[in-house]
Structure 1
Amino acid sequence: MTRSLESYRDLFPVLKEQLYLNHAGVAPTSLRAAEAVRGWMEDIVHHGIKHERGWEAHCERVRGLAARLINAEPGEIAFVRNTSHGLGLVAEGLDWTPGDEVVVASSLEYPSNVYPWLHLKDRGVTVREIQTPEGGVTPEAVAAALTPSTRLVAVSSVQFATGYRTDLDAVGALCERAGVLFCVDGIQSVGCIPVDVKKSRIHFLSADSHKWMLGIAGIGFLYVAKDVLPRLRPVLVGWRSTTDAWNFNRSHFELRPDAGKLEEGSAAYTGIYALGAALELLHEVGVDAISARIRELLGQLETGLRGLGCDVGPAPEHRAGILTFLPPEGEARALGAWLAGREVALSVRRGRVRLSPHFYNLPEEMDRLVELVRTHRG
């Protein structure tokens, strides 16, 4: 990539108003994504359904962009409303038997990766806890939680509250050796760091687009490895789930063999068009460049905040796009509110301030954040 990262800032007008460090929460979307949605809206306003075939073709291009981002095949990608939707399709679609266990760090994970598994209780499925004394899921902790009854391991690629990055390659290899399914909540990594579902031996990965992918809420994608697709029963079915979807003159109930069987009805064109523009931008910049830039910005933040006596984590080797800190006086919530009042977008999670810059943030913005924290301390 020859274009400078800073040159993309004009695509995000919010940066003129706020110091935006909350991409692990809700990211701003770009002018390109807005224009893509506006273009589709103008089309249907002025031409009705005339260009529907073009819309469908575009959706397939977006499916391909999503697949490329995580090294999957297009046929392994289904569009979903959000991360919870995708994880729910997995939880409800597998053929559980009483006594099966799901291994998950329920005390640490975001609820989206806990509730779908707890909901299986009435089907005789037990949730077994992964111990997380270090604030993250380690391969050793997963191994300790496995039993002969383990059917599936569910983890987040990056923990939302602590920022701890899971070693997906190691956990995936462990699951493969144990003969269990591997399901990943990928919302805190896809668009932030490289993700390779094949290398990591992942069977299922779900991610919404409104965080690191720089899309909008209400659209994301679910990856289902093609070798386990036959084992996943669609929770809902409709005309689009079938092999002869566009033939409305007969009923021919044969489910598609690819992940498209999980899309039961009409496409969410506005969301998919926004997602497409967002994914094109990520591919244009390059995930390796994005990851490197975020790593540099977080390193700069860590140095500055440690210089103020803050407790900072996670360690660089366990870091993706999130840095959390606790000021010496321990008043994270008060500090977070004070910073928000000064147009800093951030989050407070589990008693710590959470910062999450993206590739277009500037080094001088990191200096500004540190100086604001210094000012608050007086």
Structure 2
Amino acid sequence: MTPPLDLDRYRAEFPVVQEQLYFNHAGVSPTSVRVATAMREWVDDVLHHGVRYERGWEARTEKTRELAARIIGAAPAEIALVRNTSHGLGLVAEGLDWKPGDEVAVASSLEYPSNVYPWLHLRDRGVVVREIEPREGGVTPEAVAAALTPRTRLVALSSVQFATGYRTDLEAIGALCERSGVLFCVDGIQSVGCIPVDVKKSRIHFLSADSHKWMIGIPGIGFLYVDRNVLPRVRPVLVGWRSTTDAWNFNRAHFELRPDATKFEEGSHNYAGTYALGAALGLLLEVGMENVAARIRELLAYADRELRAIGCDTGPSPEHRAGILTFLPPQGEARALASYLSERNVSFSLRRGRIRISPHFYNQPAELDRLVEMVRGFSGR
């Protein structure tokens, strides 16, 4: 029998724990020692050797692509490296062949702006954004079904709602979209690195996420997944030398787009970013996404129980939870509590009037005990 993995041994990877109670991975994560080391490795290489070992940079970038594919159950040819989640969603929104009267179903009252604005930007092309009515702080399959019409071409949803923490039933909605002949586009930034994600099982056509949240990487680098069956339907908004089949031949102009997702990568890579992303994904896959998800689930269940015991209002309920727990103090306003906690080196977010905490696998119950004691102290003033 395999002994249980000792997750606490990874705490040394995250020096931030010496300074703060860090419960803000749904916002901006601290990164790890190995990510910082990977970035320095590339910087030192170009500092001392210039472009001499460029082939090695390319090889590491392709390894990063493989790890990105692995963490969501895709093929490397279905992965494009992008700047951020918005970049990936924008490539999808601008790349499809829309017709006037086409509809996109979006829960715009609930979603993070990155998954609303790209679709609203299509209005001057005659595309209609049809509202999905949120229920209990999230989007249910029933709500999506009610929003579909014969003109619906795409459903755009977050895998987890950023403000409420409500986890979307991607498998049920993916199956619904497949039956309806509708494309399914997912903002995956609040799930990739937090819970297991399987784009094939969930019948997802597009997923975009960057690494500065649950992947515990850095801002400015992420990936876009495009299902191989719909790749020919998405026109690159930007093209450059790297978009083509003969990319490294600079002696002729031969404009033939690559058949895989790399056609969306128009120019030189952000190598420091790809090294960082590769190290971040490697760490998560080393720990194992099932282990990561189980630890986060346990921490949130513990925090939920302890906060409720002192009178806090918490959410979402366990069956709709991924990596986020929100709460209101038993006394006083959340904004005042937010200031109180920030002064005491607690990292969290205030979202739509509620305190949002989002611990990761390296956090410990004792850290949550300290948070609860601070909330208790604030409420008792």
TM-score bracket for the superposition, by shorter chain length: over 0.9
In structure 1, how many angstroms separate the alpha carbons of the residues matched to 2:246 and 2:86?
29
Unpaired segments of 5 or more residues in structure 2?
none
CA RMSD, Structure 1 to Structure 2 (Å): 0.8
After TM superposition, list the pairs within 5 Å mapping 1:219-298 onto structure 2.
Answer: 219-298=221-300
In structure 2, how many angstroms separate the alpha carbons of the residues matched to 1:332 and 1:180?
40
In structure 1, how many angstroms separate the alpha carbons of the residues matched to 2:142 and 2:127?
23
Q: How far 1:293 sits from its partner (Å)?
A: 0.2
Helix, strand or coil: the match of 2:157? strand
Aligned to 2:91: 89
Aligned to 1:32: 34
Aligned to 1:80: 82
Give the TM-score of the pair, scaled to structure 1: 0.99
In structure 1, how many angstroms separate the alpha carbons of the residues matched to 2:374 and 2:332?
16
In structure 2, how many angstroms separate the alpha carbons of the residues matched to 1:6 and 1:335?
29
The counterpart of 1:12, out of the listed 14, 33, 37, is: 14
Q: How far 1:366 sits from its partner (Å)?
A: 1.1
In structure 2, how many angstroms separate the alpha carbons of the residues matched to 1:145 and 1:3?
44
Q: Is the 8 A contact 2:135 2:143 kept in 1?
A: no
Question: Structure 1 stretch 330-339 or stretch 169-178: which is displaced more?
Answer: 330-339
The letter for the 1-side match of 2:35 is: A
In structure 1, how many angstroms separate the alpha carbons of the residues matched to 2:21 and 2:47?
36
Aligned to 1:304: 306
1:5-54: per-residue Cα shift (whole Å, max 9, x none)?
11111111111000000000000000100010001000001111000011
In structure 2, how many angstroms separate the alpha carbons of the residues matched to 1:2 and 1:333?
40
In structure 2, how many angstroms separate the alpha carbons of the residues matched to 1:284 and 1:266?
29
The counterpart of 2:157, out of the listed 150, 155, 158, is: 155
The counterpart of 1:352, out of the listed 341, 351, 354, is: 354
Unpaired segments of 5 or more residues in structure 1?
none
The letter for the 2-side match of 1:372 is: M
In structure 2, how many angstroms separate the alpha carbons of the residues matched to 1:4 and 1:340?
30
In structure 2, how many angstroms separate the alpha carbons of the residues matched to 1:306 and 1:30?
32
In structure 2, how many angstroms separate the alpha carbons of the residues matched to 1:27 and 1:196?
23
Aligned to 2:191: 189
Helix, strand or coil: the match of 1:298? helix
Q: How far 1:2 sits from its partner (Å)?
A: 5.7
Aligned length: 378
In structure 2, how many angstroms separate the alpha carbons of the residues matched to 1:133 and 1:226?
33
Q: How many percent of aligned residue pairs carry the same amino acid?
A: 75
In structure 2, how many angstroms separate the alpha carbons of the residues matched to 1:35 and 1:335?
36
The counterpart of 1:146, out of the listed 123, 145, 148, is: 148
The letter for the 2-side match of 1:290 is: V
Q: How far 1:3 sits from its partner (Å)?
A: 4.6
1:324 aligns with 2:331: no
Q: How far 1:308 sits from its partner (Å)?
A: 1.2
The letter for the 2-side match of 1:106 is: S
Q: How far 1:329 sits from its partner (Å)?
A: 2.8
Aligned to 1:209: 211
Helix, strand or coil: the match of 2:12? helix
Q: How far 1:368 sits from its partner (Å)?
A: 1.1
1:174 aligns with 2:172: no
Give the TM-score of the pair, scaled to structure 2: 0.98
The counterpart of 1:131, out of the listed 130, 133, 150, is: 133
Helix, strand or coil: the match of 2:367? helix
In structure 1, how many angstroms separate the alpha carbons of the residues matched to 2:127 and 2:291?
42
The letter for the 1-side match of 2:45 is: D
In structure 2, how many angstroms separate the alpha carbons of the residues matched to 1:179 and 1:328?
47
